Amino acid sequence: MAHTYTSLHYHCVFSTHGRRDLILKDKLPEVHAYMGGIVRNLKGNVLAIGGTSNHAHLLIGLPSAMAPAEAVGKIKANLTGWVHQNITAMSSFRWQEGYGAFAVSCSQIDTVASYILNQPKHHETLTFEQEYLALLKKHNIDYDERYVLD
């Protein structure tokens, strides 16, 4: 639409199925690069991608007509297909069903990007589960403890 201007940035977080270490550490750069390509194909902007062998964090800008749910669904589906076709050692790879997406203001982009790019160091002392629940609490998101990590 002409004369429509948006600045919509999201910190998206999702885990592998069962939060198992399904992403080979030596394949993380390839996996992250491919995710970035998917975001760019969706006409989005990649500001940071990080994670560990059991989860991913993305800081992305999305076009005004794309909801975070649509973007995350496409990222997860396309990456899974690519992994199964190209990385035979990761044949059991799949993502959890859900995700977290948190709006990021322009003033916090550098802080969130730094957080995402330092994931391996961050997770020397904190599990994914602890991190994810802390993010939900920080953003005042109500959740049912029985289902949040399914």
* Single-letter residue type at 37: G
Secondary structure class of 104 (helix, strand, coil): strand
Output the pLDDT for position 125.
92
- Reading phi first (left if > 0) and then psi (alpha if -120 to 50, else beta), residue 134 is in alpha
Output the pLDDT for position 1.
56
Q: What's the whole-number average pLDDT of the chain?
A: 94
pTM: 0.93
Output the pLDDT for position 145.
84
pLDDT in tens, 13-65: 999 999 999 999 999 999 999 999 999 999 999 999 999 999 999 999 999 99
Please name which of 47, 58, 45, 44 lies closest in space to residue 15, comparing C-alpha atoms.
58
Output the pLDDT for position 4.
83
Q: Say which range, 1-10, 86-95, 127-136, has the weakest mean pLDDT.
A: 1-10
Higher pLDDT, 149 or 114: 114
Domain ranges of the chain: 9-138
Q: What is the CATH number of domain 9-138?
A: 3.30.70.1290
DSSP states of 31-75 as a string? Answer: HHHHHHHHHHHTT-EEEEEEEETTEEEEEEE--TT--HHHHHHHH
Output the pLDDT for position 3.
81
Mean pLDDT of 87-102: 94
In the predicted structure, residue 8 carries a pLDDT above the cut 70: yes
What's the pLDDT band for 115 if we cut at 50, 70, 90? Answer: very high
